[in-house]
Structure 1
Amino acid sequence: MSDYSPSRAPASAAAALPATVWLIAVGAFALGMASYVTAGLMPMIAAALSISLAMAAQMVTAFTLAYGLGSPLVVALLPARAQRCGLLLALGVFVLANGASALASGFSSLLAWRAMAGVGAGVYLALGIAAAAGVSAPPQRGKAIGVIMGGMAGGTVLGVPLSLLLAQQLGWTAALWLVAILGALALAGLLWQLPALPAAPAISLRRKLALLADGQVLVILLVSLLAAVASLGMYTFIAPLLAWSAHGAAMSATPFLWVWGVGGIVGSVLVGPWADKLAAPRLTMFILLLLALALGALPLAAGWSAWLMLAPIALWGAAGWALQVPQNQQLLAVRARQGDGNLAIALNESALYLGSAIGAATGGLMLLLDWPAWLLAAAAAVVAAAALLLQSGLVRRS
Structure 2
Amino acid sequence: MKRTLYLLALGVFGIATTEFGVIGILPQIATHFEVTIQKAGWLLSAFALVIAVFGPVVTLLFANVNKKKAMLFVLAIFTLSNIISYEAGSFNVLLIARMLPAFLHPVFWSIALSAAAAGVKKEDAPGAVGIVFGGFTVASVLGVPLSTLMADLFSWKAAFALCVVVNVISMIGMAWWLPGMPVKERIKLGAQVDILKKKALWMQLLLACLMVSAMYASYGYLAAYLSSVTRMGGSEISAMLLIFGVTGVGGNWLAGKLLSRSIKHTTIAFIATLAVTHIILYAVGAYKEWMVGVIIIWGFIHTGGFLISNVNVTAAAPESPEFVNSIFTSCGNLAVTIGAMAGGMTIARYQVHDIAWTSIVLLALAAVVWVISQKKITLT
Aligned partner of 1:202: which letter? I
Give me the TM-score of the superposition, normalised by structure 2.
0.80
- The secondary structure found in structure 1 opposite 2:188 is coil
Match of 1:318 among 300, 321, 345: 300
Q: Within 5 A, what are the aligned runs for 1:183-194?
A: 183-194=167-178
> Percent identity between the aligned chains?
24
Q: Within 5 A, what are the aligned runs for 1:204-223?
A: 204=189, 206-223=190-207
Match of 1:70 among 54, 57, 65: 54
Match of 1:282 among 265, 274, 280: 265
Match of 2:364 among 349, 361, 385: 385
Output the CA distance in 2 between the equivalents of 1:309 and 1:362.
23
Task: Note closer, same or farther for the CA distance 1:165–1:240 as it changes in structure 2 (3 Å cut).
Answer: closer
Deviation at 1:19, TM superposition (A): 0.9
| Residues 134-158 of structure 1: per-residue CA shift (max 9 Å, x gap) | 2344443222222222321322342
Unaligned runs of 5+ in 1: 1-16
Output the CA distance in 1 between the equivalents of 2:40 and 2:275.
35
Q: Is the aligned partner of 1:92 residue 2:76?
A: yes
Q: What residue is the counterpart of 1:293 in the other structure?
A: 276
Q: What residue is the counterpart of 2:9 in the other structure?
A: 25
Output the CA distance in 2 between the equivalents of 1:249 and 1:315.
17
Question: In the alignment, is the contact (CA less than 8 A) between 1:33 and 1:155 conserved in 2?
Answer: yes
| Residues 65-115 of structure 1: per-residue CA shift (max 9 Å, x gap) | 333323332112223464343333322322343345446688776554432
| Residues 144-192 of structure 1: per-residue CA shift (max 9 Å, x gap) | 2222223213223422332344456666554334323322332233234
Q: What residue is the counterpart of 2:342 in the other structure?
A: 362
Output the CA distance in 2 between the equivalents of 1:349 and 1:320.
17
Unaligned runs of 5+ in 2: none
Q: Within 5 A, what are the aligned runs for 1:37-48?
A: 37-38=21-22
Deviation at 1:34, TM superposition (A): 0.9
- The secondary structure found in structure 1 opposite 2:63 is coil
Q: Within 5 A, what are the aligned runs for 1:240-255?
A: 250-252=231-233, 254=237
Aligned partner of 1:380: which letter? S
Deviation at 1:325, TM superposition (A): 1.7
- The secondary structure found in structure 2 opposite 1:397 is coil
The Cα RMSD (Å) is 3.7
Q: What residue is the counterpart of 1:397 in the other structure?
A: 376
Question: In the alignment, is the contact (CA less than 8 A) between 2:18 and 2:78 conserved in 1?
Answer: no
Task: Note closer, same or farther for the CA distance 1:352–1:201 as it changes in structure 2 (3 Å cut).
Answer: same
Q: Is the aligned partner of 1:330 residue 2:312?
A: yes
Aligned partner of 2:198: which letter? D
Task: Note closer, same or farther for the CA distance 1:328–1:365 as it changes in structure 2 (3 Å cut).
Answer: closer
Q: Within 5 A, what are the aligned runs for 1:41-190?
A: 52-53=34-35, 59-60=43-44, 62-80=46-64, 82-102=66-86, 111-166=95-150, 173-190=157-174
| Residues 299-325 of structure 1: per-residue CA shift (max 9 Å, x gap) | 34559x553344444333322221222
Q: Within 5 A, what are the aligned runs for 1:336-355?
A: 336-337=318-319, 339=320, 341-355=321-335
Aligned partner of 2:143: which letter? G
Match of 2:289 among 307, 310, 333: 307
Deviation at 1:225, TM superposition (A): 1.2
